[in-house]
Chain A
Amino acid sequence: MAAEQPGRERRSPVATVDNARRFGKWLKGAARNFYKVMRANPLTLMGFILVMVISITALLVVVVPAITGAVGHPISMTPYGPNDLLPCPVVGNKTFCAQPPSAEHWFGTDRAGRDVFSRVLAALPLDLAIGFLIAGFSLLLGGGLGLIAGFWDRPGTISAAVSLTIMRVTDVFLAFPSLVLALAIAATLGRGTVPCILAIMLTWWPYYIRLTRGEVLAVKHQPYVVAARAAGVSEWRIVFRHVLRNILEPLVVYFTMDVGTVLVVFSTISYIGIGVPPDIPEWGNMISAYSDQLLLYPWVVIFPGLAVFVTVLAFSLLGDGLRDILDPRSRRALTQAEVSPATQVAKPAEG
């Protein structure tokens, strides 16, 4: 780890080569760790594969029509258009638009005659992008403010006053149930995708501040930080090279799981009916439109619900596994679980 080798670094070609080699070594080690844990934990592996499949599918749904459209022969990744009203079969003098799943319509059709599979697929890029967008924004803003509030808080300085202000504002936001505030904001901003995203963004970053600050406080008095300071490393360099790098892991874990949480909250606002307008395919939206007819046309509700469930589960499994990997304490517990209970008792305690 670079953090254990404090000191000034010379800007010479030799140092650059050295850095590259060090990075290569780090990458190799990370890859080996990753492989080890994925093998040890089937659930994490499953989460990882699911996240990959979901992300690639979402990418394909957006990219393929765009590229083929530019060439002149647009190919859609969805079998039908998400808002195409398909002809409804007529029996006697009644039309039956909502058809159960069949070979033609994998997830059935809804009462307007739209293909549910196409709509679920078309909604994937939107929902996923919103999850990444909001969680990513919160990670950057909340992480940055949390770093400031945690690192520069020596009493009596201006920066301490800044830190205190940040934490008081955070307290206020944390006292709101985020969904209630998001609902209030979304209701006042008016219906639509953008107001809904803004509303969640405004309520989401305080969690990251608290998390980051806690981690910074735990790290900043560690011997290696003190040593770096004693060796004359600048404060900014300490923050970015020594503190930030060591708190990155819990942040990454939280971010991974948070993508799923954001998705649930976003679809909840759509479900309540003040988020995305009904003609845009969105999972919460689709569930809300027919949730009172769950027993009549279960497929219209269940498949978008399954889409949310699988996506969020994938990110949660991956994040949960990553935590076990990255947290040294539970990493120890994981490896100990593999040895038999008898040797476990005989081994000397490590902490």
Chain B
Amino acid sequence: MGRSRGDLLIFIGKRLLTLIPVLFGVVTITFIFSHLAVPHPCNVWAGPRATQVTIQQCIVNNDLDKPVFTQFTSYLGKLVTGDFGSSPGGLLVLPEILNKFPETLELVLASLGLMVVIGIPLGVIASSNSGRWSDHLVRTFYLSGLATPTYLAAAILSIAIGPVVGLPRNGLFSSAVPPFPQVFHMSVLDALIALNFSGVLDAIAHLILPAAALAFVNMGIAVRMTRGSMLEVLPMDYVKTARMKGLSEFIVLYKHALRNSLISTVTVIGTAMGGILSTLVVIEEVFLWPGLGSYAYGAITNYDFNGTIGAVIFFAIGVVAANLIADIVYGLLDPRVEWR
């Protein structure tokens, strides 16, 4: 129990260990729902014009004639060795997901950046003018973000606003950009590595609309928490002391008060990651962003069990990792925190 580097490592290790039961539960629930609720997936998998023979073959190939429990144990056995199985179309699930996951990460990081850069100052402004018109304005703004259905925000941005501003509305790159190797499967980073600067600009332009949509509907999380905790911190003695020392209002707000209230903002963003990833599915679908969300959507609607479970596993890892990172940042911001 302390703050040394060793303690931090033990803390991270412990938290990663809790990932195992969580993943087991997630896999079990998804498996049960998919396999019990859809009794004859082969009718879909084999295609509309499949004969009885091909359907039978599909059932045998996918072990669907065996009891569900046997299917479950054999699936788990494969999963432990890193074999995620393949989709009904024959594509292996794991490489597919590993290609898509970084694109999603890029989108989430970009929108988190927007949320922090815009949301936190808005929260500070609202709290330091609490009860006045700028406070009401900020509250209306973030509440409208929360109140706008994700699909509507995405559709309006993509169909109405995108063409007006001149931003591309779907995909990663425009077709004019010559292809270059996708090393990391993160569009901006890949273009940077390939030293393709027109590609970098193009990738950023494609990133803006989906990231803005994702940031807009989730902005409330950051603004509300910052505003709330700033309201708690501002009447405290040390803030008054800072004011009396004659520090400028900017320094008082952003250096002294904000640092304390950031702690709760970071925690909330971490725990809200599940919700952020939820909205991601719709946004990737509308903007045709080839990430984990649109993969999950495709897998779910095609009754692709292996693909669904694979996507859900990666979502769960993302949520747990976000919580862990939030806890670590929390510790970095607050020197009183001990790793345990």
Interface residues of A (CB under 8 A from B): 40-43, 168-169, 171-172, 174-181, 183-185, 187-189, 260-261, 264-265, 267-268, 271-272, 274, 284, 287-288, 291-292, 294-295, 298, 301, 305, 308-310, 312-313, 316-317, 320, 329-330, 332-334, 336-338, 344-345, 349-351
Contacts and interface: CB of A to CB of B under 8 A. Distances in A.
Contacts of A40: 131
B319 interface: yes
Given A184-B34, A188-B38, A268-B150, A338 B131 contact: yes
B21 A168 contact: yes
Given A180-B278, A272-B285, A350-B235, A333 B315 contact: no
Given A188-B33, A313-B147, A333-B231, A177 B281 contact: yes
B195 interface: no
Contact of A175 (B143, B224, B274, B282): B274
B144 interface: yes
Contacts of A288: 151
In this complex, the member of A171, A288, A338 whose beta carbon has the largest number of chain B beta carbons within 10 angstroms is A171
A177 B235 contact: no
A260 B278 contact: no
A294 B143 CA distance: 24
Interface in B282-340: 282, 285, 296-297, 300-301, 303, 308, 311-312, 315-316, 319-320
Q: Which 5 A-B pairs have the closest CB atoms?
A: A172-B25, A179-B278, A188-B37, A312-B147, A337-B131
A107 to B, nearest CB: 16
Contact of B149 (A176, A284, A292): A284
Contact of B300 (A172, A187, A305, A338): A187
B217 to A, nearest CB: 9
Interface of B: 18, 21-22, 25-26, 29-30, 33-34, 37-38, 130-132, 136, 139-140, 143-144, 146-152, 155-156, 159-160, 224, 228, 231-232, 234-237, 240, 243-244, 274-275, 277-282, 285, 296-297, 300-301, 303, 308, 311-312, 315-316, 319-320
Contacts of A267: 149
B318 to A, nearest CB: 8
B147 A337 contact: no
B111 to A, nearest CB: 15
A184 B281 CA distance: 12
A122 B238 CA distance: 56
Q: Which of B143, B159, B224, B244 has the most CB of A within 10 A?
A: B143
Contacts of B237: 349
21 contacts: A43-B139, A171-B21, A174-B274, A177-B280, A177-B315, A178-B275, A179-B281, A180-B296, A188-B38, A260-B147, A287-B151, A301-B152, A309-B147, A329-B232, A330-B231, A330-B232, A333-B232, A336-B235, A338-B131, A345-B240, A345-B243
A271 B279 CA distance: 13
B311 A180 contact: yes
Given A42-B136, A171-B22, A333-B231, A301 B240 contact: no
Contacts of B151: 268, 271-272, 284, 287-288, 291
Given A180-B281, A189-B37, A336-B235, 5 more contacts: A169-B25, A184-B300, A268-B149, A309-B148, A310-B147
A268 B311 CA distance: 19
Given A176-B316, A180-B311, A349-B240, A295 B281 contact: no
Nearest to B243: A345
A188 B274 CA distance: 22
B275 A175 contact: no
B130 A337 contact: yes
Contacts of B150: 264, 268
Contact of B281 (A183, A274, A313, A337): A183
Contact of A187 (B132, B285, B303): B303
B303 A317 contact: no
Contacts of A180: 277-278, 281, 296, 300, 311-312, 315
B190 to A, nearest CB: 26
Nearest to A257: B146
A184 B30 contact: yes
A350 B320 CA distance: 38
B155 A301 contact: yes
Nearest to B131: A337
A185 B235 CA distance: 48
A43 B140 contact: yes
Contacts of A189: 37
Contact of A184 (B33, B130, B155): B33
Contacts of B140: 43
Contacts of A308: 147-149, 152
Contacts of A172: 21-22, 25-26, 29
A249 B18 CA distance: 32
Contacts of B131: 40-41, 334, 337-338
Contacts of A175: 22, 25-26, 274, 315-316, 319-320
B235 A316 contact: no
Contact of B235 (A43, A168, A274, A332): A332
A330 B227 CA distance: 10
B68 to A, nearest CB: 13
B144 A317 contact: no
A333 B300 contact: no
B263 to A, nearest CB: 16
Nearest to A185: B33
Contact of A330 (B29, B132, B152, B228): B228
Given A40-B131, A333-B232, A177 B147 contact: no
Contacts of A350: 235
A27 to B, nearest CB: 27
Q: Which of A284, A298, A309, A310: most chain B CB closer than 10 A?
A: A309
B204 to A, nearest CB: 25
Contact of B282 (A184, A272, A298, A344): A272
Contact of A334 (B22, B130, B240, B275): B130
Contacts of A261: 146
B28 to A, nearest CB: 8
Determine which residue in A43, A180, A189 has the highest number of CB atoms from chain B within 10 A of its CB, and name it: A180
B232 A316 contact: no
